[in-house]
Amino acid sequence: MPELASSPAGVNDFVIKFANVNGTGSASANSLIMKSIFRMGVPVVGKNFFPSNIQGLPTWYEIRVTGDAWMARSGRVDVMIAMNAETYGRDIAEVSPGGYLVFDSTWQRPALLTREDVTVLGVPLAQLCTENFEGARARVLMKNIMYAGVLAALLDLDLEVMRGLLVESYSKKPALVDANMKAIGIGYDYAREHFDCPLPTRVEGLGLTRGHFMMDGNTAAALGCVYAGATVGAWYPITPSTSLMDAFRGFCGRFRVDPETGRNNYIIVQAEDELAAIGAVIGASWNGARAFTPTSGPGISLMNEFIGLAYYAEIPAVLFDVQRVGPSTGMPTRTQQCDLLSCAYASHGDTRHVLLFPANPEECFYMSVQAFDLAERLQTPVFVLLDLDIGMNDWMVPDLKWSDDFQPDRGKVLSPELLEKIERFHRYLDVDGDGIPWRTIPGVGEKGAYFTRGSGHNQYGGYTEDSTEYQAVMERLSRKFRKAAGMVPQAVSNGDGRASVGIVSLGSCDGAVCEALQVLRAGDLAVDYLRVRGFPFGEEVESFLADHEIIFVVEQNRDAQLKSLLTLETAVEKRKLRSVLYYSGLPISSGCIVEGINSALARGEAA
Partner 1 sequence: MSGVVKPRVEHPGLPRNALGLSRRAYEGGMSTLCAGCGHDSVTAAIVQACFELSMPPQSVAKLSGIGCSSKTTAYFVSGAHGFNGVHGRMPAIAAGASAANRTLKYLGVSGDGDSLSIGLGQLGHAIRRNMDMLYLLENNGVYGLTKGQFSASADLGSKSKKGESNDHEPIDPVLLALALGATFVARSFSGDKEQLVPLIKMGLMHQGFALIDILSPCVTFNDHEGSTKSYAYVREHLQTPIAADFVESRREITVSYAAGEAVSVEMHDGSNVLLRKLDSSYDPTDRSAALAYVQERAAINEHVTGLIYLGEGRRHFHERHNTPDEALNSLAFDKLCPGSAALERILSRYR
Which 114-133 positions form the footprint of partner 1 (CB under 8 A)?
Answer: none
Q: Using CB under 8 A, pick the residue from 170, 213, 345, 470 that binds partner 1.
A: 213
Tell me the window of 91-99, 114-122, 135-143, 213-221 that interacts with partner 1 (CB under 8 A).
Answer: 213-221
Beta strands in 22-175 (DSSP E): 44-49, 58-66, 79-82, 100-104, 119-123
Which CB, 182 or 256, lies closer to partner 1?
256
Q: Is 256 in the site for partner 1 (CB under 8 A)?
A: yes
Q: Is 229 in the site for partner 1 (CB under 8 A)?
A: yes
Residue 336 has φ and ψ, to the nearest 5°, of -160, 165
Q: Is 251 in the site for partner 1 (CB under 8 A)?
A: yes
Selection from 410, 347, 357 nearest residue 386 by Cα: 357
Which 404-433 positions form the footprint of partner 1 (CB under 8 A)?
Answer: 404, 406-408
What is the closest distance, in whole angstroms, from the C-beta atom of residue 254 to partner 1 in the complex? 8
Beta strands in 463-606 (DSSP E): 492-494, 501-506, 527-532, 534-535, 550-555, 577-581
Please give the Cα distance from 375 to 553 (Å, whole number).
Answer: 28
Q: Is 371 in the site for partner 1 (CB under 8 A)?
A: no
3-state secondary structure of 222: helix
Q: Is 577 in the site for partner 1 (CB under 8 A)?
A: no
Q: Is 145 in the site for partner 1 (CB under 8 A)?
A: no
Q: Is 33 in the site for partner 1 (CB under 8 A)?
A: no
Q: Using CB under 8 A, pick the residue from 234, 245, 541, 553 that binds partner 1.
A: 234
Q: Using CB under 8 A, pick the residue from 61, 103, 235, 306 that binds partner 1.
A: 306
- 3-state DSSP of 183-224: HHHHHHHHHHHHCCCCCCCCCCCCCCCCCEEEEEHHHHHHHH
Could you tell me which residues are beta bridge partners of residue 312? none
Tell me the window of 58-66, 133-141, 174-182, 268-276 that interacts with partner 1 (CB under 8 A).
Answer: 268-276
How many residues does the structure list for the chain? 607
How far is C-alpha 546 from the geometric centre of its chain's CA atoms? 30
Q: Using CB under 8 A, pick the residue from 127, 329, 415, 455 that binds partner 1.
A: 455
Query: Could you tell me where the DSSP H helices lie in 198-296?
Result: 217-228, 242-255, 274-286
Size of the site for partner 1 (CB under 8 A): 79
What is the closest distance, in whole angstroms, from the C-beta atom of residue 371 to partner 1 in the complex? 15
Q: Is 269 in the site for partner 1 (CB under 8 A)?
A: yes
Q: How many Cβ atoms sit within 10 Å of the Cβ of residue 365?
A: 26
Selection from 186, 190, 165, 208 nearest residue 32 by Cα: 165
Please give the Cα distance from 398 to 393 (Å, whole number).
Answer: 16
Which CB, 5 or 474, lies closer to partner 1?
474
Which 458-497 positions form the footprint of partner 1 (CB under 8 A)?
Answer: 458, 462-464
Looking at this protein, which amino acid is placed at residue 94? E
Query: Starting at the edge strand that comes first in sequence, how are the strands of the sheet with 79-82 ordered?
Result: 44-49, 58-66, 13-21, 79-82, 100-104, 119-123
Please give the Cα distance from 233 to 281 (Å, whole number).
Answer: 7
What is the closest distance, in whole angstroms, from the C-beta atom of residue 310 to partner 1 in the complex? 10
Q: How many Cβ atoms sit within 10 Å of the Cβ of residue 265?
A: 12
Which 35-74 positions form the footprint of partner 1 (CB under 8 A)?
Answer: 38-39
Which 175-204 positions form the footprint of partner 1 (CB under 8 A)?
Answer: none
Which 502-561 positions form the footprint of partner 1 (CB under 8 A)?
Answer: none
Q: Is 231 in the site for partner 1 (CB under 8 A)?
A: yes
Q: Using CB under 8 A, pick the residue from 265, 415, 471, 518 that binds partner 1.
A: 265
Please give the Cα distance from 61 to 57 (Å, whole number).
Answer: 13
Q: Is 400 in the site for partner 1 (CB under 8 A)?
A: yes
Q: Is 214 in the site for partner 1 (CB under 8 A)?
A: yes
Please give the Cα distance from 550 to 74 (Å, whole number).
Answer: 26
Which CB, 251 or 567, lies closer to partner 1?
251
Q: Is 262 in the site for partner 1 (CB under 8 A)?
A: yes
3-state secondary structure of 568: helix
Please give the Cα distance from 330 to 55 (Å, whole number).
Answer: 20
How far is C-alpha 501 from the geometric centre of its chain's CA atoms? 28
Tell me the window of 171-179, 190-198, 278-286, 482-490 that interacts with partner 1 (CB under 8 A).
Answer: 278-286
Looking at this protein, which amino acid is placed at residue 304? N
Selection from 438, 590, 460 nearest residue 527 by Cα: 590
Which CB, 107 or 255, lies closer to partner 1?
255
Q: Using CB under 8 A, pick the residue from 170, 345, 450, 470 that binds partner 1.
A: 450
Tell me the window of 83-91, 144-152, 192-200, 224-232 that interacts with partner 1 (CB under 8 A).
Answer: 224-232
How far is C-alpha 258 from the geometric centre of its chain's CA atoms? 31
Selection from 319, 284, 287, 324 nearest residue 304 by Cα: 319
Q: Is 452 in the site for partner 1 (CB under 8 A)?
A: yes
Q: Is 205 in the site for partner 1 (CB under 8 A)?
A: no
Which CB, 261 or 328, lies closer to partner 1?
261
Which CB, 140 or 470, lies closer to partner 1?
470
Q: Using CB under 8 A, pick the residue from 1, 93, 402, 492 that binds partner 1.
A: 402
Which CB, 100 or 438, lies closer to partner 1?
438
